[in-house]
Amino acid sequence: MMPGDSPAERPADAWLDPHFARSARFWLRAYPRRWRAARAPEMTEVLAELAGSGARRLDVRGAADVVCSGWATRWREHPRPRDMFAYRMWERRLPGRYDAWLWDDLTGALYGVRKTFPVALIVVSSGVTAGSAAGASALVGWIAMSLLLGRVVRREAQRRCFPPAAPPRVLGPEGFRHVPRRRLAARPILAATALIGLTAAGMLLGACVFATAGYHEPGFAALGTTLSLGVPQRGYSGGVLVALGVGGAALAGLGAFAFLVGIRRRAHGRPDQPHRVLIGGGRAAHRAAAATIAVTVSFALLIANDLWLDVTGIVAGTLGSLVGSAALVGWLVVRRVERDGGPTLALRDVAHLADRRPLAPEPLEPVWTRPDPYAPPDPYAPPAPHSAPRLASSAPA
């Protein structure tokens, strides 16, 4: 065998088939997130060696073994049902042996939905007792509340379950790490808001023109029965809707311009921000904007076909006109400011400049991280005081 032919003599991940690595990462999601962060690359190489050369994906038997082992690991490290019930219902702190699991739960995706899970019981009960319309409205309200308040709820839970020590002097994988602050970029966020708001205003207000006035009873088939829901449609003239849309856009645009006047002059000579990362405008933001516009189009079609309350469309369209026009004015102002040179503005900077507050460089943010229970020991770490070897006495016997 020539040098470099064996996987051990090649660079890390250079001999792995990208298709096989993607398949292995997919099935390894059965393991906890903290396990994957420490052992996923090593496990992927082991699976590739067992599968043999030329394998483009993990076979059925190997995938079943990975899934069974991953869920066994999750079950072994999961809190007991009694502790879990108290944690979800009454926010009782889990025992210390579940700190790693608790940290993953607090930092994982959709924590706001898991945190407000008891509200789902109220949603189900209201849907059973008050009808399908009330249940659907409560469900939409619960999802919106969970997604909008998820970041605030997460921050409060982390502060309550893992109170930071003061002062934060410990650096490294355990304790505090100083990381750049994450801020929302002003220009892409304002552009997306303007696009969504103006699209919603045009679609919803336009759909209300086609809504037939009268009292309609559309039927919905569910569980073998037909549910009738009385929906009153009022019907609005095109002139009223155009006046609402154009008047709201003009009013919000003038208000935003008056609020943002003087930003260009005050932003001159703004300091650099080396300890800050701007987010927004990426692929995830584009997908969220496209999904929001698709939901708006679907809602407009329901209004036009007399399947939803047109009053809701009037309110949502007017709000979209207000927010969209204000965001459009803000985007134009921010784009003109950034053309003068200097660091890119964040939404926080725009608020400070509008409030006539000076901009200052932001420091690094101390973030406390839990120790990784799967991380291997550091061979270069100094020995503990109790394990230090004793020196032999030099005195003669």
Q: How many angstroms separate the CA atoms of 306 and 134, rounded? A: 19
pLDDT of amino acid 306: 62
Length of the chain (residues): 397
Backbone angles phi, psi at 108, to 5 degrees: -80, 170
pLDDT of amino acid 64: 92
pLDDT of amino acid 272: 87
Q: How many angstroms separate the CA atoms of 318 and 326, rounded? A: 12
Q: How many angstroms separate the CA atoms of 320 and 246, rounded? A: 11
pLDDT of amino acid 344: 87
Q: How many angstroms separate the CA atoms of 9 and 27, rounded? A: 27
pLDDT of amino acid 377: 52
Q: Where are the domains positioned within the chain?
A: 7-77, 81-163, 181-214+225-369
Closest CA to 69 of 25, 32, 38: 32
b or e along 346-373 (b: 16 or more beta carbons within 10 Å of the residue's beta carbon)? bbebbebbbeeeebeebeeebebebeee
Q: How many angstroms separate the CA atoms of 74 and 32, rounded? A: 6
Q: What is the DSSP letter of 173?
A: S
Q: How many angstroms separate the CA atoms of 171 and 150, rounded? A: 28
User: Which structure tokens are listed for 397?
Assistant: 């016997």
Residue 263 CB neighbour total at 10 angstroms:
21
pLDDT of amino acid 234: 55
Which pLDDT tens digit goes with each residue over 248-272?
888 888 888 888 888 888 888 888 8
3-state secondary structure of 68: helix
Is-contact 364 179, C-beta < 8 A?
Answer: yes
pLDDT of amino acid 86: 86
Is-contact 164 126, C-beta < 8 A?
Answer: no
pLDDT of amino acid 390: 39
pLDDT of amino acid 325: 92
pTM for this model (two decimals): 0.53
Residues with pLDDT less than 50, the chain:
1-12, 14, 166-173, 215-216, 218-231, 384-397
Q: How many angstroms separate the CA atoms of 63 and 330, rounded? A: 51
